[in-house]
Structure 1
């Protein structure tokens, strides 16, 4: 008898760009909006199933996000790339260590892990310390799927300007943030999706991020059942931008939850 599909829940913890929305000192229409969907923390999502929780990125807002969404355990963290808005919450893994009394596995490319080791060198120091520090198990992936309690997370290489970034495919969903181009070999890994997350920073061109129009072209090619745009700047007022999007394409927002079949 075939095993029944497992149901995953993806929660958007942050849908904003690197400086968040509202942006400090800005009084534009989006930054002063009363629509809660226009308040965007730094980008990350969590995936939950059967009491398991996997984070994709831990940015500077991770503590606030974890409290808001009542995350009381963490089974793994997958990193997309080593920019500040995606890694600086790593130190906030400590309370999960206190509760779980075990190291937390983190996964990243060789380049991303090298930067993490440099920025958080105190975590990897073997000597005695008077204060607590995160206890982690650092794993460098080589492109093969990452397995967490039977669920596969497949790294998807994308271009982030001249730098590298990785999205992840899990079940019939994929999460891609911070990309300016999706290579052909990665496009092939994104076929047959129910849910696709894409970077869509703004309407105007940007050297390291996809625009709304560029991401719409990706949608037209891949034809997922539903697409959500994330890593959104204060150039997009949620209500107005959503009105202009085609059917089955949506702006993500903080707190959005989506059921996914694995």
Structure 2
């Protein structure tokens, strides 16, 4: 399985509009971050986790021509607002786009993208096929066996995913011991770390590193980084040997 980081930034991305800080002005391409999302590829099957406002650009940049499904972590705009841009896949594949999310998120989609569920849709409208993940511990999409990891983004319950020895937890602040048990024996963990200061709904770097130590993956990658975290090359020097900063267009390979 290939893991392609489509975006590794926060809801504002990097550079932030109008910001003159050293990170936003950096010439290191690793400091240029679209909104957070990841593509998983196995043979001729491809799924994405989250579809934010940069989704179209991400699909073009990664050369994606077919898409089997979209997994959503939660309903914040930087994770769902690009869903309209699945239309070319729908038109090419001649089938509604399967979207996997919990029931609360599905309700938000039906409100924000009401035209995608209309009984008499206008020509060219997307069509979404919603799959609720409530009460499910495992979902299957083609050859992907996907476990659901539940945790909290502030007080908002959201979900991440485990596929084989890979797990993806973005926008995380708190997780129960029961859910942590689902993360044993990971080869690769992707986890968010916003910046260095306390935040009500995101792990700061110190907290993310402590959680990584508890989970004990072979390798961890940090995502959903704010420009306040610092430059890629500087922050990497602060990290343990088994922790790296992810960056846009990074590709990882996983045998599972």
Question: Is the pair's TM-score, using the shorter chain for normalization, greater than 0.5?
Answer: yes
C-alpha separation in 2, matches of 1:128 and 1:242: 49
Alignment of 1:2-17 (within 5 A): 8-17=1-10
Q: Count how many residue pairs are aligned between Structure 1 and Structure 2.
A: 254
Is 1:132 the counterpart of 2:121? The answer is no
Partner of 2:186: 193
Query: Does structure 1 conserve the Cα–Cα contact (< 8 Å) formed by 2:115 and 2:121?
Result: no
Give the 5 Å matches for 1:99-248.
Answer: 99-129=92-122, 131-142=123-134, 143-235=136-228, 236-248=230-242
Equivalences for 1:51-130 in 2 at 5 Å?
51-129=44-122
Partners in 2 of 1:70 and 1:146 — Cα distance? 26
**In 2, distance between residues paired with 1:157 and 1:113?**
16
- 1:114-158 deviations in Å (ceiling 9; x for gaps): 1111111111111242x3111221110123211011321111111
Unaligned runs of 5+ in 1: 1-7
> Is it true that 1:39 corresponds to 2:62 in the alignment?
no
Partner of 1:29: 22
Q: How far apart, CA to CA, are the structure 1 residues paired with 2:186 and 2:121? A: 48
Indicate which of 242, 252, 255 corresponds to 1:258.
252
- The answer to whether residue 204 in structure 2 is matched with residue 249 in structure 1 is no
Distance between the aligned counterparts of 1:229 and 1:47, measured in 2? 17
Match of 2:43 in 1: 50
SS in 1 for 2:227: coil
In structure 2, the residue corresponding to 1:261 is in which secondary structure? coil
* Alignment match, 1:5: none
Q: Distance in 1 between matches of 2:170 and 2:210?
A: 16
CA distance in 2, matches of 1:164, 1:91: 24
SS at match of 2:254: strand
Question: Per-residue CA shift, 1:205-233, capped at 9, x if unaligned?
Answer: 11000111001101111110000000000
